[in-house]
Structure 1
Amino acid sequence: MATPLDNIRVLDFSTLLPGPMATLFLAEAGAEVIKIERPGRGEEMRSYVPKWGEDSANFAMLNRGKKSLALNLKEAGERERLIPLLKEADILVEQFRPGVMERLGFGYDDVAAINPGIIYCSITGYGQSGPKAARAGHDLNYIGDSGLLALACGTPDTPVIPPALIADIAGGTYPAVFNILLALRERDRTGKGAHIDIAMCDNLFPFMYWALAEGQVTGDWPGNGDSLVTGGSCRYRLYPTRDNRFVAAAPLEQKFWDIFSEAIGLDPALRDDGKDPQATTDAVARIIAAHDADHWQTVFEKADCCCSVVQSLQDAVSDPHFKSRGVLDRTVENASGERTMALPVPVVPQYRTSQETSRAPSLGADNDMMPRIGASEITEKPQ
């Protein structure tokens, strides 16, 4: 079955999470993805725990269906071996700090001179320019610098770290894929390639649309956990149950709030949460805390009021809903033939490859696809 990215070749110089997940999405849509790794250890994710066969389970999840070339990019002869692939590539993804690829001789201008149609995607924390461009950082730093973390970070006694790597995935992976596809469309029209500058920190601001609107228009900027969708309302909160689980209550609209109030037996005098918000919140909390999670699961399945019991991840992967939609059907296999659930990707079924099971490549497994060349076709630059 043909897929949208058939015959598209991607050279992936990235490591860890944002770039490898982006190229996984492209591979699932049919692109040929070739990882460029350092000899010996390969990219860092291979050594992570838990181990699953030769490499880590994380590496297998993020790199299935790709190829691997092991090259020492600090050696001119090894770099030269990449030239034929660069000439044929459609997309290059890199995740080094600004200036590193230039020092290696593979900056955008260098590669575009070889292949003017290349779509060259650089993923960094702070972008290719600006005062913070060269600064080291991780997800927690990026969500902290953007103001996102301050909207719901717990208390000094119990600071809360978000359970997802928001900047890496939402600020890095998704914008990279989105803009690569836009660049492919533009190349179809003009024949020209592009350098795409993906700054994970920049791309977090869309998640704060409501806070930006509120702060700019009213002058009253949202703080830590004090707004409608960060815990400042009784209509959008986590309420502990008697057995130390949580109800995720989100009956924001009045019709859902009315159904919710009736379902839990909230005192009619407290149902107008505008009169004394704290009194209403406290009353709801007492009611929810009086029963176990299973009780509330039954109540809210009947009430249908945007309320549910928080599931564990283990429960979620067994949820009949996700099973019925085939979300978790694909598998990844290691070199020993063991299989486990593959990471689901947001590519709709009709645009995905038909391959139900795939492997991550062993280090350097595809080095034989590069011819050894003698003449230098790219000038070595000072380190």
Structure 2
Amino acid sequence: MACSTIAMKSQSTPAQRAPLAGIRVVDFSTLLPGPMCSLFLAHAGAEVIKIERLGRGDEMRSYLPKFGKDSVNFALLNQGKRSVALDLKEPAAVQQAIALVRQADVLIEQFRPGVMDRLGLGYEAMRAINPRLVYCAITGWGQHGPLADMAAHDLNYQAETGLMALTAGSDGAPGLPNVLAADLVGGAYPAMMNILLALRAREAGGQGCFIDVAMADNLFPLVYWGLGNGFAAGEWPVPGGDLVTGGTPRYQVYRTSDGRYLAAAPLEQKFWENFLRVLEAPQLLDDAGDPKGTREAVAAIIATRTADEWLQRFAGIDACVSVVKSLQEAVATPHFRERGLFQAHIASGDGVEIPSLPLPIAPALRHAAGDTVPELGEADPDAFRR
């Protein structure tokens, strides 16, 4: 078996049993939400069998930049899994997939509604052969509803759920989101959470279940405060008009004299007082009467010094002020290095190493997912018979 190597430091004790040891996951998903979900499960000790298209595999393999034979994206999301390549248009391949599912605990799929049914791999058919199966379907819009079959990406889900509108600037144009919130927070995280809940429920009742993960649906809790204000008081949030959308000088990004930016969030009164003390601007203490004027006055003061000068002045002061860092600067920050976020590494087939993803799994529950990034079709489906 030819595989790229992952050199990882396990953060669990050798004698500790992985939380999901003995759990088998058959993952039909591609790209980001499903693979990220099964990556979590793999790092908790589950055996993950990745079903890929014969010949081409997961589209993520072809992305750039490359890391060995495949993309770095694929390596980060699929370490520790096994790859089975099948042409699911062929009846014999479907039967091989069914044989895997028959002995699985979890199935993850990410097709549009109805596709798995047409392949003969839908929930009802799989439940008939494996009543204990936890079947998780991740889609953009869910299994039913007027938008269920509409093609979309993360940008569309954020547009349809009102998140993007809250990023609008002074010209009214919404900003382009730089985080794939729907894929990750709306897809991978809820899928992982509900799979774990379903496995826990199965311990009591003995039966699996169907999980409908709709990425768009799961974005709404991110704006809980806006929903509360709107439903309870009829005060729906607007860009530039609310506590976390730019309506207060206490939650803003201010430009410094050297073209950098300070993220200032002194929301509470004690932090606001400390903030103004550093700015030497006690006259701005009462900002409620003229928040726009106060914001402009603060901006004018911040613009008189460099970012480093402000950092020195705010050092040791509780005022909730940070310099806006690039991602490259952030990963080199002493705090994150000391916490060991990037200690574990992935090595490509030619020996190049990069840090692996710092997944939010507690060290006591974390398990080294394995020492391989699977090559396409490296595993024989018959090898997984129990």
**TM-score category by the smaller chain?**
over 0.9
**In the alignment, residue 361 of structure 1 is paired with which amino acid?**
P
Q: 2:138 aligned with 1:117, yes or no?
A: no
**In the alignment, residue 189 of structure 1 is paired with which amino acid?**
A
Q: How does 1:9-158 map to 2 (within 5 A)?
A: 9-156=24-171
**In the alignment, residue 346 of structure 1 is paired with which amino acid?**
P
Whether the 8 Å CA contact 1:60–1:359 is kept in 2: the answer is no
Whether the 8 Å CA contact 2:167–2:174 is kept in 1: the answer is no
User: What 5-or-longer segments of structure 1 have no aligned partner?
Assistant: 373-383
Partner residue, 2:380? 367
Once residues 363 and 268 of structure 2 are traced to their aligned partners in structure 1, the CA distance between those partners, rounded to angstroms, is 33
Whether the 8 Å CA contact 2:49–2:83 is kept in 1: the answer is yes
Q: Report how far residue 155 of structure 1 moved.
A: 4.9
Partner residue, 2:227? 212
Partner residue, 2:364? 350
**35 and 64 in structure 1: CA distance in 2 versus 1, 3 angstrom threshold:** same
**10 and 53 in structure 1: CA distance in 2 versus 1, 3 angstrom threshold:** same
SS for the counterpart of 2:237 is coil
Q: Percent identity?
A: 54
**265 and 67 in structure 1: CA distance in 2 versus 1, 3 angstrom threshold:** same
**In the alignment, residue 179 of structure 1 is paired with which amino acid?**
N
Q: Report how far residue 41 of structure 1 moved.
A: 1.2
**326 and 140 in structure 1: CA distance in 2 versus 1, 3 angstrom threshold:** same
Q: Report how far residue 28 of structure 1 moved.
A: 0.6
SS for the counterpart of 1:82 is helix
Partner residue, 2:21? 6
Q: Report how far residue 153 of structure 1 moved.
A: 3.1
Q: Report how far residue 260 of structure 1 moved.
A: 0.4
Residue by residue, what CA displacement relative to the aligned partner does 1:66-125 show, whole Å, maximum 9, x if unpaired? 110000011001111123321210000000000000010000011111111000000000
Once residues 384 and 141 of structure 2 are traced to their aligned partners in structure 1, the CA distance between those partners, rounded to angstroms, is 37
Once residues 68 and 155 of structure 1 are traced to their aligned partners in structure 2, the CA distance between those partners, rounded to angstroms, is 49
Q: Tell me the TM-score normalised to structure 1 length.
A: 0.93
Once residues 151 and 222 of structure 1 are traced to their aligned partners in structure 2, the CA distance between those partners, rounded to angstroms, is 8
**In the alignment, residue 316 of structure 2 is paired with which amino acid?**
K
Q: Report how far residue 57 of structure 1 moved.
A: 0.6
Partner residue, 1:299? 313
Q: Report how far residue 157 of structure 1 moved.
A: 7.3
Once residues 347 and 170 of structure 2 are traced to their aligned partners in structure 1, the CA distance between those partners, rounded to angstroms, is 43
Q: How large is the Cα RMSD of the aligned pairs?
A: 1.6
Q: Of the candidates 306, 311, 317, which is equivalent to residue 331 of structure 2?
A: 317
Q: Report how far residue 303 of structure 1 moved.
A: 1.3
**295 and 9 in structure 1: CA distance in 2 versus 1, 3 angstrom threshold:** same
SS for the counterpart of 2:83 is strand
Residue by residue, what CA displacement relative to the aligned partner does 1:34-66 show, whole Å, maximum 9, x if unpaired? 110001110110001111111111111111111
Structure with larger RCO (C-alpha < 8 A, sep 6+): 2
The answer to which of 315-324 and 218-227 deviates more is 218-227
User: What 5-or-longer segments of structure 2 have no aligned partner?
Assistant: 1-15
Whether the 8 Å CA contact 1:68–1:363 is kept in 2: the answer is yes
Q: Report how far residue 342 of structure 1 moved.
A: 0.4
Once residues 342 and 86 of structure 1 are traced to their aligned partners in structure 2, the CA distance between those partners, rounded to angstroms, is 29
Q: 2:213 aligned with 1:198, yes or no?
A: yes
Residue by residue, what CA displacement relative to the aligned partner does 1:16-38 show, whole Å, maximum 9, x if unpaired? 11100000011011111111000
Q: Tell me the TM-score normalised to structure 2 length.
A: 0.93
**In the alignment, residue 317 of structure 2 is paired with which amino acid?**
A
**14 and 151 in structure 1: CA distance in 2 versus 1, 3 angstrom threshold:** same
Q: 2:204 aligned with 1:189, yes or no?
A: yes
Once residues 314 and 153 of structure 2 are traced to their aligned partners in structure 1, the CA distance between those partners, rounded to angstroms, is 39
Q: Report how far residue 368 of structure 1 moved.
A: 5.5
Once residues 64 and 20 of structure 1 are traced to their aligned partners in structure 2, the CA distance between those partners, rounded to angstroms, is 10
**In the alignment, residue 230 of structure 1 is paired with which amino acid?**
T
Q: Of the candidates 154, 175, 179, which is equivalent to residue 164 of structure 1?
A: 179
Once residues 360 and 153 of structure 1 are traced to their aligned partners in structure 2, the CA distance between those partners, rounded to angstroms, is 41
**In the alignment, residue 166 of structure 2 is paired with which amino acid?**
L
Residue by residue, what CA displacement relative to the aligned partner does 1:277-309 show, whole Å, maximum 9, x if unpaired? 122111110111111111112222221211111
Once residues 249 and 197 of structure 1 are traced to their aligned partners in structure 2, the CA distance between those partners, rounded to angstroms, is 39
